[in-house]
Amino acid sequence: MKYIIAVIQPDRLDEVLKNLEEKEIHLVTVSNVVGRGRQKGIAEVYRGHKEQGSLLKKVKLEIAVNKAFVEPAVKAVIDGARTGQIGDGKIFVIDLPECIRIRTGEKGNMAIG
Amino acid sequence: MRLTLAIAVVVLLAAGTAFSETQQLVAGSLTSQNSTIDTGDTAWVLISAALVMLMTPGLAFFYGGLVRRKNMLSILMQCFMALCIISIQWVVCGYSLSFGPDQRGIIGGLDWTFLNGVGMTPNATYTATVPHEVFMMFQMMFAVITPALIIGAFAERMKFSAFVIFILLWATIVYDPITHWLWGDGGFLKNMGALDFAGGAVVHINAGMTALAAALVLGKRQGYPNGISPPHNLPFAALGAGLLWFGWFGFNAGSALKASGLAGNAFTVTHIAGATAGIVWSVLDWLRFKKPTTLGMITGAVAGLAAVTPASGYITPVGAMWIGVGAGVFPWLVVTCLKTKLGYDDSLDAFGVHGIGGIWGVLATGLWATKAINPDGADGLFYGNPLQLWVQAKAVLFTVIYSFVMGYVLLKFVDVVIKLRVTEHEERVGLDLTQHREAAYTIID
């Protein structure tokens, strides 16, 4: 099992979710986050005071999948999130040792689906 | 300590009751002379009092939107508590000290404490056609919002207990005398001919100068200037500015104390100055910082409204535009340039907007005032009377010095007695949680 974390542009979320749905990947958690990358943010100015170290608003997706679904999931995110502009985001894939469905107590591959 | 406080309050109230019983008879005979209530005037001043009352909650949201999330409630609480405390102070002694029978031009006597003799019939000295009690309530709302304006300077770091004691002392020792100087019958600045129609000196310079003293006495917030998060809710600030603007019609046009042409003109020039300053501030932001900002626009409008306040009963619409231009330029310079250079932390720019806006407004009254608008006023410099500018300058000088010095002394006094500032840890955690055991916003449903 793998745990995929994707940080994307907020306006690309709907597209990414649609792509994941088409690949029958339903298990996804979405949160609003702020962060920064190599691209510079737009510094806010309040009554002439420039904010330092501005962070940009992004959306973070967390997707747990069985091994067979890693490639389709990554492709779904890239297809949906890619604009070709700087700031499109990142995908991190990490090993997932365990997954438990709270309602039934099922574990591992069964629980993820 | 707490018990003594409770006993003191009870004794005070008991004294008030005894007092009012003996004075009621006198009041009855005094006020029966030929003053007639005008229903239109009375209705307008009643509504104006309610409009000015709404400015304090409006200010709460204006300021509240500008602080960090963790301090939102502390601002709302301070503003609303000012509304409660100063209202009662006004009834107990504030109104009497401000408007009561004159004592050497400096302060009002104690004859009207607990509103003795302040009843349903007009007092011709102040308003021949409006019940004395209505005039008292209208003035109460000014007494409330003035200390609330100072909050902008010490936001996010003052202990609530210190705040309560400070505003009570400040209202009694600073606000009430200055009000008497300019508005009380026999007040020495009023007798000198100083014009302050609706409180440029009484309210805005007064609050602004003590605000500067507060910024200096309390010192900077931790992390100021670069480690402070931006305003947490600018829509709230805009909402608050809208409520302030709305209330300002009562503040200025209500100060005519009649439903008259003068009230209509005050209404007009108030709006014009606010609008002009909002435009000017936006243009300056645009030129200097590349973009016109929402915060800049509403700040400019408030500065314009503050600046036109003393002039609103004496100027033409064109005069109002010029005052608006100055109110866009001078506070903008102080807030965006001078403050950062000097490094004091007037957190929400109470001094920059109200102090500077007020000084400009009181001086500008000496430039653009004309008897063509108000025969009871005076002509200013541009209408052939340079002397009025000098009189206005003296009013500014007295108010600036008294408010700054006394504000400074009172803050130092409260600091020595119970400490003004929260601990470093409390400041970091936020005043909502440490001073009130509440949070403005829940994160989890």
Predicted ipTM of the assembly: 0.80
List CB contacts (< 8 A) between A32 and chain B: none
Residue of B nearest to A55 (CA): B229
Residue B421, min C-alpha distance to chain A (Å): 25
> What tokens were used for B440?
């403005």
**Which residues, other chains included, contact B59 with Cβ-Cβ below 8 Å and sequence gap of 6+?**
B79, B145, B148, B149, B151, B240, B244
List CB contacts (< 8 A) between A46 and chain B: 230-231, 293, 295
Which of A46, A51, A52 lies at the smallest CB-CB distance from B295?
A46
Give pLDDT tens digits for A34-61. Answer: 988 877 777 888 998 888 777 888 999 9
Residues of B with CB under 8 A from a CB of A: 225-227, 230-231, 285, 288-289, 291, 293, 295-296, 299, 335-337, 340, 349
Nearest of B246, B1, B368, B426 to residue B377 by alpha carbon: B368
Nearest of B385, B334, B325 to residue B355 by alpha carbon: B334
* B28 pLDDT higher than 70: no
Q: Is A30 left (phi over 0), alpha (psi -120 to 50) or beta?
A: beta
List CB contacts (< 8 A) between B349 and chain A: 47
Report d(CA B71, CA B295) in Å as an integer. Answer: 19
Give pLDDT tens digits for B179-230. Answer: 999 999 999 999 999 999 999 999 999 999 999 999 999 999 999 988 888 9
Question: With b meaning 16 or more CB within 10 Å and e meaning fewer, what string describes A92-113?
Answer: eeeeeeebeeeeeeeeeeebbe
User: What are the angstrom distances between the C-alpha of A49 and each of A44, B23, B59, B136, B335?
Assistant: 8, 57, 22, 42, 9
> What tokens were used for B142?
């000014």
List CB contacts (< 8 A) between B296 and chain A: 47
Give pLDDT tens digits for B251-274. Answer: 999 999 999 999 999 999 999 999
> Residue A47 and residue B289: Cβ atoms within 8 Å?
no
- pTM for the whole thing? 0.90
Which of B225, B227, B293 lies at the smallest CB-CB distance from A45?
B293
* B12 pLDDT higher than 70: no
Question: Hey, is the C-beta of A38 within 8 angstroms of any chain B C-beta?
Answer: no
User: Any idea which residue has 């009561």 for tokens?
Assistant: B100
Which of A44, A47, A52 lies at the smallest CB-CB distance from B336?
A47
List CB contacts (< 8 A) between B227 and chain A: 52
Which of A45, A49, A52 lies at the smallest CB-CB distance from B340?
A49
Residue B219, min C-alpha distance to chain A (Å): 19
